[in-house]
């Protein structure tokens, strides 16, 4: 087995996230955040991951997706807090009850905006226009998809977010470079794609598209049960979407899978920007720090 093939088999354990003036890279045992401080210095933060990543639970399909998603969201919020503190010079920590409440509030807003409001609109159109339930459910799904695309486009117009999206692009470029077995130097990394099949943007799109299929198939419901079903079935959608994302990433070179990946990669054009060499340097530092922590 050659070096490149060995790297490819290990890479599903690697993920990442853009933060404020930095990048977080996550492995199986450790995560590292590299951040550009206001004085230009690159600051590294490392931490050990939850032991659940090495447990047998993470071998159980669908369940591992829910656990991994929850932990990734918590870790992501911590990383954003750390990076924000680097820029402001403050030393506040969000952990324990405060972290859980922040997470719960963020998830609640997302569920209301992307699931409950589209469900309510679909129900209203059904009654006003006297559509059948399947058409109303289909319209709900299309509204949800439109909300997602408009949201990503909208926040992408903000100057601060544009820079975060550049770090997001750098994160993808570094992982793509590593997968190709190429040396991680900024000039070489810059030549690689800023899109990647394991991206969280792709995960969100898969959840929305699968929700169109699932909720359309449910048929007629009262408004109450319609709203309740959207909440109760969300974990199922997340678990299925995780497995689908994992499967397509592992088989991305198959001609059919390449075609299936096109919408995922296209949507990433909204959440990634071309990074500068200085931004790529930070992403490389995060990746190398994560690798060192993994080996340690």
Taking the domains of the chain in order of start, what are their residue ranges? 3-88+95-291
Mean pLDDT along residues 126-130: 81
**pLDDT band, very low/low/confident/very high, at 275 (cuts 50, 70, 90):** very high
pLDDT recorded at residue 94: 59
Q: Are 18 and 163 in contact (CB under 8 A)?
A: no
**CA–CA gap between residue 41 and residue 34 (Å, rounded):** 10
| CB crowding 55-66: b at 16 or more within 10 Å, else e | eeeeeeeeebbb
More confident position, 102 or 199: 199
**42-48 and 15-19 strand pairing:** unpaired
Q: Average of pLDDT values for 243-260?
A: 92
Distance from C-alpha of 49 to C-alpha of 14, rounded to nearest angstrom: 12
The CA R_g of the chain, rounded to the nearest whole Å, is 20
Output the pLDDT for position 9.
45
Within 10 angstroms of residue 189's Cβ, the number of other Cβ atoms is 24
pLDDT average, residue stretch 161-183:
95
- % the chain with pLDDT above 90: 56
Are 182 and 7 within 8 A, CB to CB? no
pLDDT tens for each residue of 131-143: 787 888 889 999 9
- What is residue 13's predicted lDDT score, i.e. its pLDDT? 58
| Residue 58, token pair as written in the block | 């993470």
Question: Average pLDDT of 238-261?
Answer: 92
Cβ atoms of 160 and 169 within 8 Å: the answer is no
What pLDDT shows up at residue 241? 92
Mean pLDDT of all residues belonging to the chain = 87
What pLDDT band is residue 95 in, cutting at 50, 70 and 90? low
**Are 273 and 164 contacting, i.e. CB atoms less than 8 angstroms apart?**
no
Residue with tokens 């922590």: 293
Please report the pLDDT score of residue 280 as a whole number: 98
| CB within 8 Å of 229: residues ≥ 6 apart | 215, 218, 221
Interval 41-92: pLDDT, tens? 999 999 888 777 777 877 888 888 887 777 778 888 889 889 988 988 776 6
Per-residue pLDDT, averaged over 25-44, amounts to: 93
Distance CA 257, CA 261 (A): 6
Give the side-chain half-sphere CA count within 13 A for 179.
23
């Amino acid at each position: 087995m050659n070096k490149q093939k060995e790297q490819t088999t290990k890479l599903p354990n690697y993920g990442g996230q853009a933060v404020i003036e930095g990048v977080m890279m996550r492995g199986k045992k450790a995560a590292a955040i590299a951040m550009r401080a206001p004085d230009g210095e690159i600051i590294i933060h490392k931490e050990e991951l939850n032991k659940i990543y090495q447990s047998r639970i993470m071998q159980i399909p669908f369940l591992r997706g829910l656990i991994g998603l929850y932990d990734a969201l918590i870790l992501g919020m911590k990383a954003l807090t750390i990076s924000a503190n680097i820029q402001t010079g403050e030393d506040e920590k969000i952990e324990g009850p405060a972290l859980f409440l922040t997470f719960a509030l963020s998830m609640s807003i997302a569920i209301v905006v992307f699931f409950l409001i589209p469900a309510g609109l679909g129900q209203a159109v059904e009654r006003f226009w006297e559509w059948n339930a399947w058409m109303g459910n289909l319209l709900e799904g299309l509204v949800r998809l439109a909300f997602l695309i408009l949201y990503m486009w909208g926040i992408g117009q903000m100057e601060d977010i544009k820079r975060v999206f550049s770090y997001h692009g750098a994160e993808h470029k570094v992982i793509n470079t590593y997968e190709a077995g190429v040396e991680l130097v900024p000039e070489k990394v810059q030549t690689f794609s800023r899109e990647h099949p394991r991206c969280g943007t792709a995960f969100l799109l898969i959840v929305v598209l699968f929700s169109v299929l699932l909720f359309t198939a449910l048929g007629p419901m009262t408004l109450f049960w319609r709203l309740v079903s959207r909440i109760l079935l969300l974990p199922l959608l997340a678990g299925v979407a995780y497995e689908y994302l994992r499967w397509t990433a592992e088989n991305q070179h198959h001609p059919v899978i390449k075609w299936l990946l096109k919408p995922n990669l296209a949507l990433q054009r909204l959440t990634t920007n071309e990074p500068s060499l200085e931004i790529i340097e930070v992403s490389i530092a995060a990746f190398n720090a994560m690798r060192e922590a993994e080996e340690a």
